[in-house]
Structure formats: structure tokens, C-alpha cells
Chain A
């Protein structure tokens, strides 16, 4: 089955700690995205990548970093500089034009 896998499903972070959220897709999609969703809110774009070894900041990139060394993988690191990281994180990918986005099932990050 083709799709996007996000792991872990739940993640707990201590203050001052960096954590990395995994996102892997086997859809052969070029573009990949990270969104953050807070309770009752829409999705806010953190980073996106249209091609391997290239990525751009979204609307709320501060305190986050990404890499795109392989087409299949787009990990997101939440650094200690992100002051309010507790949220639901969604990864998505997209193929050619006139197709929709495919989303992973999300990672819920909580600061303890």
C-alpha cells in the first residue's frame, strides 16, 4: 500500500530538548510538507520541500529545522528554540498537478 508514515504517534519532550519527527512516503511524490495544528485551529505551514536537497520556510519556521536528503524522507526537528511546541504535527506529500495532498496520521507532541 502506498502512503505516508509518521512516527511516533505520540512524543513527549522535556524542556530544552530537541526531538525529531519522522515522515516517510512511498508514493514517489516530489513535494513534501510539514504542518502544525493547534486545538480548534487550522493547519499552519512550517516547512516544505519541492525536490530533494531543497526546502523552504513556511509561515512558522522559527524553532524548527528539516532536511530532505532522500525523496522518501522529510524529517522535522523541533528544537529547544521553539517555545511552545505542544501541538499536532502533520506531514503531507503531493505528486503532480491536479492531484490532492496525501497526509500522514500525525504526531502529537507534548512538552513535559
Chain B
């Protein structure tokens, strides 16, 4: 099965600072996705980056993808207390359907 592994597991920053979290994976992918989960809620899809893209922006989110290193990073700029959540990555693989799994996630705390 394909698995994304997030790093660090926990991150605490002050409001207004930038937050960077990373994701590594093991096999070739079609795309990589980032999700946010607020405590006790379902996951919300944030952004998808395709394997032929290197960088993508959505509002205060910036995602990069390095397929040679099999890694991705999610940058949240000018963080807000409302960004406090866990963040997960997931991948869709090449070569037909594979079981997609999610890692433990990065737990981000933004201190007001």
C-alpha cells in the first residue's frame, strides 16, 4: 500500500509565523494531496499537486513536490489560531489502484 509519512509529528508556532511540514512517500505517484483535520472532525481536502508539477499555491498555502526525493512540503504562511489542526498527506499511485493510507500527520498548534 502507498503511505505518506508526515514530519514533524508536532509543531508549535506563534500566530503570524510560517509553518512548514513535510511528507515522504515510497513509490511513483500520479498526485499528492494534503488534508487538514480539526479535532474530532473529518479530513478536509486542502490541495492536490500532480506529479508533473513542482509547486502549487492556494491562498496562504504553498505546496512543493520533489519526485526525485519522493517528498513534498506544505507551507502555511502568516498562520492564524484557526490553522490549529492536524495535517495529513496522501498519494495516488501510478499503475492502477492501490490502497491509499494516511500517516500519523503533523499536529500544528498556532498560539495566539
Contacts and interface: CB of A to CB of B under 8 A. Distances in A.
Interface string A83-112: 000001010100001111111111010000
Contacts of A101: 33, 35, 43, 45, 90, 100
B58 interface: no
A100 B105 CA distance: 17
B71 interface: no
A84 B1 CA distance: 24
B35 A100 contact: yes
Interface residues of A, number: 28
Given A98-B30, A101-B43, A103-B44, A42 B103 contact: yes
Interface string B1-12: 100000000000
Contacts of B41: 105-106
Given A88-B40, A105-B42, A97 B92 contact: yes
A42 B88 contact: yes
B30 A97 contact: yes
